[in-house]
């Protein structure tokens, strides 16, 4: 059940992965007490299950590549947060925009970016979405209005406001989805961006994926107010909190938020309660939580198993169909890895391209590659 905060102007946020069905509520979820009222399942939910499996398996394969030193830099994986990503990004229109943080692989997949090009980018290859220059934390596809993962915490929130101002200036009803984690809300840019968006009534949807630990510190030890939706409401904007482990609850919250924004009522802040099954990054020893906690939380609320269970209950899939789907996804990801491994490295001269945007009539060169092109 979506919980809408006062002030809502509508009146109305590894191969070894074992998937287990959601069984009991977890602390911080919005409505796992009693039987949740769900909308009827549909055939498109089968496609969503496949996408969530792709997101999970892609991250496992990335972890394997990192452990073999085939992927450099930092690697932040999204296992467990598939429903929050797909339940929001999946409801956007083609003319909407996305700016997100460095845990961005699943977000790019949900937006329709080719998985083989994402994997090639992680491998630093010329066939990657950024020609091998961005890596894991800086995925970008202008063709799909996927305007970047950003490595600097909250550094992309002012960019979202800029995109929102452009949409408003052009008279468009497009939504700018800005995704960040709970660790961002103690940064100055978070406050500044929410305030500016509220003052100018910008069409920005601020989506906080609250995994309760930020990078590695429990939120109760860093903030006197742990409900981020409540904190967001201080800027006079509509806010809500949803169960980000539940695809349908997230969708319902996202639908309400986009209706609010497209009707010209200004920004919206949505807090999706999530729980990542892996550490902050591949370098995270996870001293801040126990393996037992992770296991229990996973058993209680694996988003993939919730979708699988509902589809099985509705008779849209059975165990055999699910196994075939898993095998197909595994094969697809293996092909992505093969594509990345066999792709060429960028030419040394690429170091000097894509530095300036290019200014007409000045002789300043523009980019040598089109980052919005297909592979």
Question: How many CB atoms sit inside 10 A of residue 249's CB?
Answer: 27
Residue 375 lies inside a defined structural domain of this protein:
no
Q: Measuring CA to CA, how many Å separate 265 from each of 229, 242, 248?
A: 18, 20, 24
Asked if residue 371 is part of any domain, the answer here is no
Average pLDDT value over all residues in the chain: 88
Q: Which pair of structure tokens corresponds to residue 297?
A: 């939380």
From residue 41, alpha-carbon distances to 2, 110, 246, 252 in Å are: 18, 19, 13, 14
Measured distance CA(38)–CA(115) in Å, rounded: 31
Alpha-carbon gap, residue 317 to 43, rounded angstroms: 10
pTM of the full structure: 0.86
Residue 233 contacts residue 5 (beta carbons within 8 Å): yes
Pick the closest to residue 75 from 54, 60, 57 (CA basis): 60
CB 181 within 8 A of CB 208: yes
pLDDT at 356 over 90: no
In the chain, the number of structural domains is 1
Residue 154 lies in a domain: yes
Tell me, yes or no, whether 361 lies in a domain: no
Q: In this structure, is residue 363 part of a structural domain? A: no
Listed residue (68, 83, 62) closest to 275, CA to CA: 83
For residues 57-85, average pLDDT? 96
Residue 242: per-residue pLDDT? 97
Q: Is residue 373 part of a domain?
A: no
Q: Could you give the CA distance from residue 40 to residue 311 in angstroms, rounded to a whole number?
A: 10
pLDDT at 326: 98
What average pLDDT does this structure show over 208-213? Answer: 96
Asked whether residue 94 carries a pLDDT value surpassing 60, the answer given is yes
Residue 370 in domain: no
Q: 65: alpha, beta or left, given left = phi > 0 and alpha = psi -120 to 50?
A: alpha
* Rounded Cα–Cα distance for residues 170 and 161 (Å): 14
Q: Which pLDDT score, from 0 to 100, does residue 367 have?
A: 57
Q: For 100-129, write each residue's pLDDT tens digit.
A: 999 999 999 999 999 999 999 999 999 999
Which residues constitute the domain of residue 210? 3-30+38-350
Whether 300 maps to a domain, the answer reads yes
Distances (CA, A) of 203 to 90, 112, 167, 242: 18, 22, 7, 20
Q: What DSSP string runs through 303-354?
A: HHHHHHHHHHHTTS--HHHHHHHHHHHHHHHHHHHHHHHHSPPPPGGGGGSS
Q: What is the pLDDT of residues 214-271, one digit of tens each?
A: 999 999 999 999 999 999 999 999 999 999 999 999 999 999 999 999 999 999 999 9
Q: How many helices (H) and strands (E) does the chain have?
A: 11, 7
CATH number assigned to the domain comprising residue 287: 3.40.50.970
Query: What is d(CA 51, CA 371) in angstroms, rounded to the nearest whole number?
Result: 24
């Amino acid at each position: 059940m979506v919980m809408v905060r006062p002030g809502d102007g509508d009146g109305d946020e590894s191969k070894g992965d074992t998937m287990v069905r959601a069984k009991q509520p977890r602390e911080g979820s919005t409505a796992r007490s009693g039987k949740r009222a769900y909308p009827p399942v549909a055939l498109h939910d089968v496609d969503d299950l496949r996408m969530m499996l792709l997101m999970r398996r892609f991250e496992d394969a990335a972890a394997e590549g990192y452990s073999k030193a085939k992927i450099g830099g930092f690697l932040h994986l999204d296992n467990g947060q598939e429903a929050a990503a797909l339940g929001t990004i999946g409801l956007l229109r083609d003319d909407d925009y996305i700016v997100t943080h460095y845990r961005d692989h699943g977000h790019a997949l949900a937006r329709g970016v080719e998985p083989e090009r994402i994997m090639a980018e992680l491998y630093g290859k010329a066939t990657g979405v950024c020609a091998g220059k961005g890596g894991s934390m800086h995925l970008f596809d202008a063709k799909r209005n996927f305007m970047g993962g950003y490595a600097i915490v909250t550094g992309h929130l002012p960019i979202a406001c800029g995109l929102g101002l452009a949409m408003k200036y052009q008279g468009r009803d497009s939504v700018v989805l800005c995704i960040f984690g709970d660790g961002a809300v103690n940064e100055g840019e978070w406050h500044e961006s929410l305030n500016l968006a509220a003052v100018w009534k910008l069409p920005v949807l601020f989506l906080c994926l609250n995994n309760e630990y930020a990078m590695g510190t429990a939120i109760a030890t860093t903030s006197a107010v742990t409900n981020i939706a409540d904190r967001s409401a201080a800027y006079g904007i509509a806010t809500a909190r949803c169960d980000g482990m539940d695809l349908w609850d997230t969708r319902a919250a996202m639908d309400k938020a986009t209706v609010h924004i497209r009707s010209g009522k200004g920004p919206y802040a949505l807090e999706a309660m999530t729980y990542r099954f892996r550490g902050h990054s591949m370098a995270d020893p996870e001293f801040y939580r126990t393996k037992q906690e992770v296991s229990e939380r996973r058993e209680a609320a694996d988003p993939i198993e919730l979708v699988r269970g509902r589809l099985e209950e509705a008779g849209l899939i059975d165990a055999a169909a699910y196994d075939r789907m898993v095998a197909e996804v595994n094969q697809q990801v293996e092909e992505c890895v093969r594509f990345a491994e066999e792709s060429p490295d960028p030419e040394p001269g690429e170091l000097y391209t894509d530095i300036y945007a290019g200014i007409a009539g000045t002789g300043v060169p523009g980019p040598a590659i089109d980052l919005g092109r297909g592979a």
